[in-house]
Amino acid sequence: MSHGARVIRTGVSSGGPAVPPPVTVASSSAGSDAELMDGGYFRSCAGMLKVAQMISLLIGFISVNNSSWTDYSAYSFFQIVTMCDLVMILFFYIMHIFRVYRKLTCVSWPLAEFLHYLIGTILLLIGSIVAAAKSYNITGLVAGATFGFLATILCVISMWSSYKVSCITQSTSKYH
């Protein structure tokens, strides 16, 4: 039973050596794999959101650290949570700038970042509520709690935007 001739197309011609495909040059804002840093991430919405989170966490930490407080457990918890969140956001910021996620593919980076934001935001919200409740109208403590709430809102926005983007990416790639 003959099904007819089939043509299989490949990139290599049988008549001679293969010609490499033309090389396209990527723009500097998008970045290429050869570049060490992703310059476009500095100016992206996600990058600026991470910087705003780090600044608000740092101001909240410094405000509480330089104030006189009596409730050691509440404000030490607030300080630990703000510094841990700051370090983790800085870690993910550096990871995006230097494109570490492309080299370490064994980790689901969007999931790791989402879980960090989920857990960190809940702890930061708890710490900010406790700090605000125990501030006793001391200016530095009120400012620290306020910047803690601001960082919480920024973390929720970042978590929501990363989840929204990943859901849209999954749903469009499923049908194509």
Instruction: Say how far residue 91 (Cα) sits from the centre of its chain.
Output: 9
Report how far residue 82's alpha carbon sits from residue 54's, in angstroms, rounded to the nearest whole number. Answer: 9
- CA distances 68 to 72, 123, 142, 145, 150, Å, are 10, 23, 12, 14, 22
Q: With contact defined as beta carbons under 8 Å apart, do 51 and 93 qualify? A: yes
**Where are the chain's structural domains?**
47-173
Q: Which residues contact 61 (CB under 8 A, 6 or more apart)?
A: 79, 82, 83, 86, 144
pLDDT score recorded for residue 71: 77
Q: Quick one: tokens of 89?
A: 């956001």
Model pLDDT, residue 38: 82
Could you state, in chain order, the average pLDDT of each consecutive group of 10 residues for the chain (176 residues)? 52 48 46 69 91 97 90 90 97 92 88 92 96 90 96 94 66 55
pLDDT for the residue 101 = 86
Q: What's the pLDDT at 33?
A: 54
Q: What is the pLDDT of residue 55?
A: 98
Claim: this prediction has a pTM higher than 0.75: no
List CB contacts of 135: < 8 A, sequence separation 6 or more.
141, 142, 145
